[in-house]
């Protein structure tokens, strides 16, 4: 039995960490930036937290002087942080990550984090925002391939690792296909990257900073499936409330129903406001309950215990009523189990939903119109179902790479055409 309670460790000054870990629970989860556990990362140019003994021992073995108990099965999510993932080769970053995480030290203490089965590692973070906003399918294709290359290299170097691979979460709301929510997860390389790792990760938020409109984004609100409960939006939900818009593939739980999930960031953008502490803890409990009901969610690491000026509305520690309520909240337990990875070779692959039967094409060939991308061409050729898969199918049939370069007037052959279509 696990708890879905969790916490994202501060990226600034660390006050009252015993209270923070009480909120995270010994059977819950934490997210931590990797460099805080090491004296210095010369590649990322980040320094660690000597004041807290470089953290791993406190998170795993406990720290009696502060009343921190041991937590042998706490899920420790290590976020490998580089300020610009585009600037470093994923294989180089993988080799660096293997070297650093295998050599944790604090005085006479040492550990190989790759040997800890309750550690999970993300190669990166919010690639679609860092270092700049990117929303096209071509950009998402690069992100997915980068993460796959990272994990392939890690497993070449340490094929017997016990630590788990975790998807580098994306910031939500930045669609790969215009007006198709969460279509970034249908880009083939992103889907492959999710299937390549043992644990999926997401960052769903509510928006209490929007006032009365923001209340709709919280669990129980009419817009919750676009925000704090976005992961749990059923396939086609938008079709019932906004008819006539492009089909809704659903949130990540609909798209990857068997994949274990860690919500490695979440919140309300009002964590700093004592006047809204009760509403915030109620919203948090709503997400935790949804995670338990799903049955595959391993935890929610609320963002963030304390931070510098980069996250002023997200900081929890200065809000005394909220931080105490989170610490006093009982374990919200789940039957979800942390996957086990003990055998050499790549991690287990989630096959995802069974793809629908391939719809026969409307035309034997199709001409590319001005301004069209391959997704738009695929939609004209095959209809609205499974657009990402059909786009890749068109590219392959025409000997094109991915992402393909299209020009207006180009004629593409369309596989699957039948002269007489069934009614």
- The pLDDT of residue 348 is above 70: no
What is the pLDDT confidence band of residue 352, given thresholds at 50, 70 and 90?
very low
Domain residue limits, the chain: 2-334, 365-413
Length of the chain: 423
Q: What are residue 417's DSSP bridge partners?
A: 361
Quote the pLDDT of residue 356.
44
Q: What kind of fold does domain 2-334 have according to CATH?
A: TIM Barrel (3.20.20)
Query: Mean pLDDT, the chain, as a whole number?
Result: 90
pLDDT tens digit sequence for 289-304: 999 999 999 999 999 9
| Residues 211-225, mean pLDDT to the nearest whole number | 95
**Predicted confidence (pLDDT) at residue 342 exceeds the cutoff of 70:** no
Query: Which tens digits make up the pLDDT trace of 162-174?
Result: 999 999 999 999 9
Check residue 417 and give its pLDDT: 58
Task: Confirm if 305 and 10 have CB atoms less than 8 A apart.
Answer: yes
pLDDT band with cut points at 50, 70 and 90 for residue 9: very high
138 touches 184 (CB < 8 A): no
pLDDT range class, residue 380, cuts 50, 70, 90 = confident
Q: Which of 163, 259, 137, 164 is nearest to 202 (CA)?
A: 259
Residue 49: partners with Cβ closer than 8 Å, 6 or more residues away: 14, 36, 37, 55
Residues 6+ apart with CB under 8 A from 92: none
| Average pLDDT, integer, range 369-383 | 80
């Amino acid at each position: 039995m696990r708890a879905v309670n969790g916490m994202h460790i501060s990226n600034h000054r660390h006050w009252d960490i015993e209270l923070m870990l009480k909120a995270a629970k010994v059977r819950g989860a934490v997210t931590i930036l990797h460099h805080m556990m090491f004296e210095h990362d010369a590649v990322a140019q980040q320094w660690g937290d000597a004041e807290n003994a470089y953290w791993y021992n406190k998170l795993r073995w406990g720290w009696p002087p502060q009343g921190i108990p041991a937590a042998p099965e706490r899920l420790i999510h290590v976020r490998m942080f580089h300020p610009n993932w585009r600037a470093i080769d994923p294989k180089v970053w993988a080799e660096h990550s293997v070297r650093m995480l295998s050599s944790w030290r604090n005085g006479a203490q040492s550990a190989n984090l790759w040997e800890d089965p309750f550690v999970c590692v993300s190669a990166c973070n919010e690639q679609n925002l860092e270092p700049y906003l990117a929303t096209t399918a071509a950009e998402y294709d690069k992100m997915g391939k980068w993460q796959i290359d990272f994990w392939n290299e890690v497993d070449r170097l340490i094929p017997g690792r016990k630590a788990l691979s975790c998807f580098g979460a994306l910031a939500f709301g930045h669609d790969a296909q215009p007006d198709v929510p969460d279509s970034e997860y249908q880009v083939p390389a992103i889907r492959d990257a999710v299937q390549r790792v043992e644990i999926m990760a997401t960052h769903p938020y509510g928006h209490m900073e929007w006032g009365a409109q923001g209340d709709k984004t919280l669990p129980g609100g009419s817009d919750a499936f676009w925000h704090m409960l976005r992961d749990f939006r059923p396939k086609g939900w938008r079709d019932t409330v906004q008819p006539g818009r492009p089909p809704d593939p659903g949130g990540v739980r609909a798209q990857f129903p068997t994949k274990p999930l860690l919500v490695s960031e979440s919140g309300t953008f009002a964590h700093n406001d004592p006047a809204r502490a009760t509403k915030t803890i109620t919203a948090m409990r709503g997400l935790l309950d949804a995670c338990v009901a799903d049955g595959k969610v391993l935890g929610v690491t609320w963002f963030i215990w304390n931070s510098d000026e980069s996250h002023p509305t997200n900081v929890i520690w200065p809000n005394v009523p909220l931080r105490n309520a989170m610490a006093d909240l009982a374990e919200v337990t789940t039957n979800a189990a942390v996957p086990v990875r003990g055998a050499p070779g790549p991690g287990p692959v989630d096959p995802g939903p069974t793809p629908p039967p391939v719809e026969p094409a409307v035309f034997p060939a199709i001409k590319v119109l001005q301004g069209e991308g391959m997704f738009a061409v695929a939609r004209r050729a095959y209809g609205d179902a499974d657009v990402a898969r059909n786009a890749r199918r068109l590219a392959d049939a025409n000997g094109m790479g991915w992402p393909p370069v299209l020009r207006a007037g180009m004629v593409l052959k369309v596989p699957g055409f039948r002269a007489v279509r069934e009614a």
